[in-house]
Chains A and B, each alone.
Chain A
């Protein structure tokens, strides 16, 4: 995944989420699908405010908190948010996301 183009992530309004036992539990309110995010994925989720590019989330949060290299972390983070977007858990955009009917910047 290229870092030359900023990628912004907003969390969907159509989900319910709760942190339990160090993991983020997420349920889609559209199809009742249940997801569990591990510690790293939970950190990305919490930082997904729609206005911070993924590259900044990875460099500012993931690399610092989990002591991982940027390239690897950014690639993994990109794959994660793509998968979450496929399930409607997050919305992705190449420009900052303002809260709309499908996304919520509130955590």
Chain B
């Protein structure tokens, strides 16, 4: 088990290096750079000299390979430099926004689990009845409705029925939990619905599969109450793939927030990402992509370990 974990950690490194290389060169293909976007923003006449000076300051005048070397060295030492747009350290800019996005992500996950596991179970136990059809249609609809649109509808509903809109400024949870939740519960619901749809479908299909297993028949033959058969024998095995899906979706949630944060005007990682890419802020975009990729790989790794821990049949050599 330990050897497996170490091996997996070592395998993460080449993937992360790959991400770092890919994102660096992808961004450099982009025509026009941050300097032009920043200084010529208002159509101001800027001399070539000023542009060159700014490029030199940001290190954009160096040869590509030298820039690449700097970037890789930064990655290795966890020093991501300054934002090319604001001039503040990338780590600082991300740090002040990460809390908000993470909180929304965690809340959305809780909402998704609370919805998905009961609904998926009921749907599987009453397969091909009207309950099953309603749940399945709800789940497929959850995959179809764009979460940013759902967010807009929520705001519209709040405005029409309560003549109230969620607060715009972020309050820390430990400062004023009510204020904090009244702002963040809506994006969490909007994203959580889609998230729950994925998990509901997974719960349903794995539970259906497990319920056909021999040991379920054995348990029933022994005269175990149906409730216990489902809760003890079936659920334990059915939940494994559900855990995987929840884990993987959690990693993607940070990405999913990109659009939803715009709707709710939340100053989180997603909004920062859109701003960074459209402004040509290389350092910021690179750092954010690395962060998201790292997060994704880490979650993947955790899910795999959890899998091995939960299922004695899966023991890696």
A, B in one complex:
no
